Amino acid sequence: MFRPVVRLSTSGVRSLTRTRPCYSAPSASRCYSHAKVETDEEFDARWVTYFSKPDIDAWELKKGMNTLIGYDLVPEPKILDSALRACRRLNDLASAIRILEAVKDKSGPHKDIYPYLIQELQPTLIELGISTPEDLGMDIL
């Protein structure tokens, strides 16, 4: 699967998760790969579908999360929402909190990504009863 390496941009909160790949369509006469590039929306949709599987099992959740965290990006709120609901189906509160910690760590030096994610996920967190690591005092040593 061909996946471009993208970097976190610092301009604006909305575009913080991913930028578009910056090379043009294959109309030049150079020897670029002709593989189809997956758009951001397709990527998001694929992952939301993955976590939305009704009978997802614990291994698939682990594999999905570990793979997602391995990418050079911070997942969109809708992917995380889908993952948190998967944790709920698996009765796994600890993993849900762990996912929030992981995306905070993924944001690295960009300190405004995590508050944005929490703000977007607030309805889900309240509905499912997931406390953030900050609520539980687990964000400090």
Judge residue 75's burial from the number of C-beta atoms within 10 Å of its C-beta, 0-12 exposed, 13-18 middle, 19 or more buried.
buried
The single residue among 16, 65, 80, 121 that binds another protein, judged by CB under 8 A, is 65
How many whole angstroms separate alpha carbon 126 and alpha carbon 132?
Answer: 10
Judge residue 140's burial from the number of C-beta atoms within 10 Å of its C-beta, 0-12 exposed, 13-18 middle, 19 or more buried.
exposed
Closer by beta carbon to another protein, 70 or else 109:
70
Q: Which stretch binds another protein (CB under 8 A): 15-23, 25-33, 36-44, 126-134?
A: 126-134
Per rule CB under 8 A, is residue 140 in the interface with another protein? yes
Per rule CB under 8 A, is residue 130 in the interface with another protein? yes
From 31, 29, 90, select the one nearest 65 (Cα to Cα): 90
Applying CB under 8 A, the residues found at the interface with another protein are 61-62, 65-66, 69-70, 88, 91-95, 97-99, 101-102, 104-105, 128-131, 133, 135-141
